[in-house]
Amino acid sequence: MGVKVDLEESQNILESLGFKTKMKNNTIEAVVPHWRNNDIEIPEDLVEEIARIYGYHNLPNVLPPITSLNFQKDSTFEWEDKIKDCLKHWGFTETSSYSMVGKNLTSNPQDHLKITNPLTDDLVYLRTSLIPSLLEVIAKNKTETEIKIFEMANIYLPQGKDKLPQEIMELTLVWGGDNYLKLKGILEALINELGTGQFEIEPSGCLNLNKYAKITIKGKCFGIIGETKDGYNVLEIELPVLLEFATQTKKYTPLPKYPPIIEDFSFVVPAQTLAGPIIEKIRKTDELIKSVKLIDSYENTKTFRITYQSESQNLTDKEVGVIRKKIIKKMDLKHNFSLNSSS
């Protein structure tokens, strides 16, 4: 109680409440009256009765001592909150759906964990992807022409008989309409917020997506970006892998002292050629190439804007000309691309 009450006074209080008491070795033994059998069960109940009659107003108003713990918050939760805040700021709406899905939302039921006693026939399997759940949300909101939603939740991957499933926290975004490039821009902005560094998009194939590419950082795949057969743009990220590279350390890069030289190259390329690998090849041609951007694409012609810059001197036309020839030679020999005559 925070205060010491005399034993004799405590005994008198209990007896006034109908308890039969006996003092033994500085301890009060009490027999509970029959009308209090339902609410007096433990010694603390007797202490409460004494305090009630003694008067709560007579007890000292002091907080109980609490030992300070050296508690360190898991940074994963901080990153997850930051990601959610960013996506909401960029116009996305967070959704929350069941971890269980029906057979209609699974392409291969045998690859899913089946629940032994499902609540309903629509919630039979543990999901292995968030995409079907988000597409179901869209199907229920057909009046929305350009829906932007995301969900962050666990998926469950089977690990064999008599083994617990592997739980992986995933982030999935779905954006309706002709917004694939905008969704890629959201990915770039998210990567920038997390400070994970450069990422690469590698073409691949998937049975459930019309267009599909893997996203990697330092050779490690952390997600996919693509388009569904119904024309919805999707981005699926395996958060534990991505957050391995996340950092809150901000790097300061001083402004360049010397002006850049900017050139545009138009290459005639085979049909269905992706710009990402070309940009990466051009960027690795010379250390003086600071940036490469795709600025136009028409039929089999792609135009790239290349920026040259030195941190120690002004570049001359001769120095840039040497790099230019290296770029053209690399594209011609390795990829059989030809420079557009109008470039």
Q: DSSP readout, 67-96?
A: PPP-----HHHHHHHHHHHHHHHTT-EE--
Whether the per-residue pLDDT at 321 is higher than 90: the answer is yes
Q: Mean of the pLDDT values across residues 32-58?
A: 90
- Are residues 117 and 49 part of one domain? no
Pick the more confident residue, 107 or 47: 47
> How far is Cα 212 from Cα 209, in angstroms, rounded to an integer?
6
Q: Which of 80-89, 110-119, 321-330 has the highest mean pLDDT?
A: 80-89
User: How does residue 343 score in pLDDT terms, banded at 50, 70 and 90?
Assistant: very low
Q: Please count the helices (runs of H) and the strands (runs of E) in the chain.
A: 8, 16
pLDDT at 233: 92
When computed from its CA atoms, the radius of gyration of the chain, rounded to whole angstroms, is 34
Contacts of 109-117 spanning 24+ positions with Cβ under 8 A: 111/158, 112/158, 113/156, 113/158, 113/165
pLDDT at 342: 46
Pick the more confident residue, 148 or 112: 148
> How far is Cα 259 from Cα 252, in angstroms, rounded to an integer?
19
First to last CA, the chain: 88
Per residue in 58-86, pLDDT (tens digit) is 888 877 777 766 667 778 899 999 999 99
- Are residues 187 and 40 part of one domain? no
Whether the per-residue pLDDT at 105 is higher than 90: the answer is no
Instruction: Give the lowest-confidence range in 100-114, 140-154, 241-255.
Output: 100-114
Whether the per-residue pLDDT at 124 is higher than 70: the answer is yes
Task: Return the amino acid letter for 282.
Answer: I
Q: CATH number, domain at 290?
A: 3.30.70.380
Six token digits for residue 287: 């250390």
Per-chain mean pLDDT for the chain: 86
Asked if 265 contacts 343 with a C-beta cutoff of 8 angstroms, the reply is yes
Q: Mean of the pLDDT values across residues 335-343?
A: 56
- Are residues 219 and 93 part of one domain? yes
Q: CATH number, domain at 40?
A: 3.30.56.10
Number of domains present in the structure of the chain = 3
pLDDT at 186: 95
pLDDT at 337: 66
- For the entire predicted model, the pTM comes to 0.66
pLDDT at 205: 60
pLDDT at 206: 56
- Chosen domain end from 243, 270, 290: 243
Task: Return the amino acid letter for 60.
Answer: P
Q: Is residue 181 part of a domain?
A: yes
- Are residues 172 and 132 part of one domain? yes
- Are residues 101 and 136 part of one domain? yes
DSSP 221-271: EEEEEEEETTS-EEEEEEHHHHHTS---PPPP-PPPSS--EEEEEEEE--T
Alpha-carbon separation of residue 244 from 26, 109, 191, 197, 217 (angstroms): 62, 31, 12, 11, 10
pLDDT at 146: 80
Q: Mean of the pLDDT values across residues 287-299?
A: 89
Whether the per-residue pLDDT at 179 is higher than 70: the answer is yes
Whether the per-residue pLDDT at 88 is higher than 90: the answer is yes
Six token digits for residue 288: 């003086």
pLDDT at 118: 82
> How far is Cα 23 from Cα 10, in angstroms, rounded to an integer?
11
Whether the per-residue pLDDT at 336 is higher than 70: the answer is no
Q: Mean of the pLDDT values across residues 274-302?
A: 87
Centre a 10 Å sphere on the Cβ of residue 282 and count the other Cβ atoms it contains.
21
pLDDT at 69: 66
pLDDT at 243: 93
- Are residues 298 and 239 part of one domain? no
Structural domain span for residue 328 = 261-339
- Are residues 159 and 79 part of one domain? yes
Whether the per-residue pLDDT at 341 is higher than 60: the answer is no
Closest CA relative to residue 149, chosen from 166, 161, 168, 136: 136
Q: Is residue 249 part of a domain?
A: no
Q: Mean of the pLDDT values across residues 87-104?
A: 91
